[in-house]
């Protein structure tokens, strides 16, 4: 896996991911890319790249999505040369601004055109509606393109974050959203170190690729609870685009818990719920015992979901 953050929001996510990776002792190639030299100077990443210095003099694109796309297209080799032969490339960005919106489209297009065997996922954040019409139009334009290009696009909305964290501080709300993004990436990384669990289908990359290749809109949630089923319900509630997973192409579930908390009856209930309640036929499981966890944790990834919120957003933004 290689993880790339584009623009201010994407670079911030990469920095927080690096901090988390250091805590757990995992090394993953991370790339931070922005036109704003000040943002890059404060970032933490394995590779830090400033693009467009001749155009912006290191001060960003001023919200010009076309400029952000042109700069990324012109300097794409700075990024592509660092990706290597990753099987899964994950690009994260906040939409609405110039570098994030334009850069993520250009980068996704290059990856799919030149690295067709790699699986491309994106994790994108939609701006607050209060940020204005231009940012909404930038975000909608970028989202349409990314949904067309990427194998799977996971989307979160700042407006829905605000609704659910109305009584918390701004910093706490943004930290919660960033934790969703970072935890999703960490869950993907943990899929690479699973132990077989008797009686369950265990996850490998072939399963992930099968359900997410050319799958469109996806959903990812991470939750904790007193048992795996409660943790699963908590993961379902981390839904920042009001995704409807009914009839989805497939689901990947990663359960992490202390060995004593991994009771077969509770673990087996999750695929039954996904199959019977939501009509998902392809459900793949990974179980990862972790003595450091005080409560069971579930990472849920679902491909080819529907979202009336996203449909309405794209229609309103024009």
**pLDDT per position as a tens digit, 168-207:** 776 776 777 777 778 877 777 777 666 666 656 677 788 8
Beta bridge partners of 219: 302
The tokens 């974050």 sit on which residue? 161
Closest CA to 218 of 125, 123, 302: 302
The angle at the Cα of 4, spanning 306 to 255, to the nearest 5 degrees, equals 55
Q: Average pLDDT, whole number, for the chain?
A: 89
Alpha helices in 154-287 (DSSP H): 158-164, 170-190, 205-212, 228-237, 264-276
- pLDDT of 201 reads 64
Average pLDDT over every residue of 224-229: 92
Q: How far apart are CA 158 and CA 176, in angstroms?
A: 11
Spatial neighbors of 228 by CB under 8 A, at least 6 apart, are: 255, 257, 261, 262, 263, 266, 267, 269, 270, 296, 298
Closest CA to 39 of 7, 72, 70, 14: 7
pLDDT tens figures, 238-266: 899 999 999 999 999 988 888 777 777 77
Closest CA to 256 of 233, 216, 287: 287
> Does the structure show a pLDDT above 60 at 276?
yes
Pairing of strands 88-94, 47-50: unpaired
What count of other Cβ atoms lies within 10 Å of the Cβ of residue 206?
8
- pLDDT of 197 reads 62
- pLDDT of 148 reads 97
Q: Judge contact between 30 and 5, C-beta under 8 A.
A: yes
- pLDDT of 237 reads 92
Query: What are 178's two structure tokens?
Result: 């960033």
- pLDDT of 257 reads 84
Average pLDDT over every residue of 212-237: 94
Is residue 211 packed enough to be buried (19+ CB in 10 Å), middle (13-18) or exposed (0-12)? buried
Q: How far apart are CA 130 and CA 177, in angstroms?
A: 17
- pLDDT of 12 reads 92
Return the percentage of the chain with pLDDT > 90, whole number.
62
The tokens 């700042």 sit on which residue? 158
Average pLDDT over every residue of 122-140: 92
- pLDDT of 233 reads 95
- pLDDT of 254 reads 87
> Does the structure show a pLDDT above 80 at 211?
yes
- pLDDT of 287 reads 82
pLDDT tens figures, 14-27: 999 999 888 878 88
Return the percentage of the chain with pLDDT > 70, whole number.
95
Q: Judge contact between 242 and 307, C-beta under 8 A.
A: yes
- pLDDT of 125 reads 93
Instruction: Tell me which of 89 and 193 has the higher pLDDT.
Output: 89
Q: How far apart are CA 162 and CA 240, in angstroms?
A: 10
Instruction: Tell me which of 318 and 156 has the higher pLDDT.
Output: 156
- pLDDT of 194 reads 62
The angle at the Cα of 95, spanning 92 to 97, to the nearest 5 degrees, equals 120
Spatial neighbors of 310 by CB under 8 A, at least 6 apart, are: 143, 155, 217, 241
SS3 228: helix
- pLDDT of 37 reads 95
Domain limits, the chain: 2-150
pLDDT tens figures, 90-129: 999 999 999 999 999 999 999 999 999 999 999 999 998 8
- pLDDT of 108 reads 98
Banded pLDDT at 144 (limits 50, 70, 90): very high
- pLDDT of 43 reads 96
The CATH H-level superfamily of 2-150 is Tubulin/FtsZ, GTPase domain (3.40.50.1440)
């Amino acid at each position: 896996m290689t993880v790339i953050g584009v623009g201010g929001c994407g670079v911030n996510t990469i920095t927080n991911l690096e901090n988390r990776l250091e805590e757990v002792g995992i090394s993953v190639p991370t790339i931070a890319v922005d036109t704003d030299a000040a943002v890059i100077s404060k970032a933490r990443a394995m590779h830090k790249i400033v693009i467009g210095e001749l155009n912006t003099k290191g001060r960003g694109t001023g919200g010009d999505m076309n400029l952000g796309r042109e700069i990324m297209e012109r300097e794409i080799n700075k990024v592509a040369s660092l990706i290597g032969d990753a099987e899964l490339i994950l690009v994260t960005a906040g939409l609405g601004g110039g570098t994030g919106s334009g850069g993520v489209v250009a980068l996704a297009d290059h990856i799919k055109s030149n690295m067709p065997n790699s699986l491309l996922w994106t994790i994108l954040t939609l701006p607050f509606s209060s940020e204005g019409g231009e940012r909404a139009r930038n975000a909608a334009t970028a989202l349409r393109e990314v949904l067309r290009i990427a194998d799977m696009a996971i989307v979160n909305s700042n407006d829905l974050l605000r609704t659910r964290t109305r009584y918390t501080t701004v910093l706490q709300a943004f930290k919660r959203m960033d934790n969703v993004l970072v935890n999703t990436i960490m869950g993907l990384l943990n899929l690479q170190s699973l132990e077989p669990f008797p009686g369950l289908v265990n996850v490998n990359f072939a399963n992930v690729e099968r359900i997410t290749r050319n799958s469109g809109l996806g959903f990812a949630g991470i939750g904790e609870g007193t048992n795996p089923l409660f943790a699963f319900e908590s993961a379902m509630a981390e839904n920042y685009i009001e995704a409807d997973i009914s009839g989805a192409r497939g689901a990947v579930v990663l359960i992490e818990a202390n060995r004593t908390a991994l009771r077969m009856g509770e673990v087996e209930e999750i695929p039954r719920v996904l199959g019977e309640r939501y009509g998902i036929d392809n459900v793949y499981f990974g179980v990862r015992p972790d003595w450091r966890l005080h409560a069971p944790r579930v990472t849920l990834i679902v491909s080819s979901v529907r979202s009336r919120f996203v449909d309405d957003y794209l229609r309103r933004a024009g």
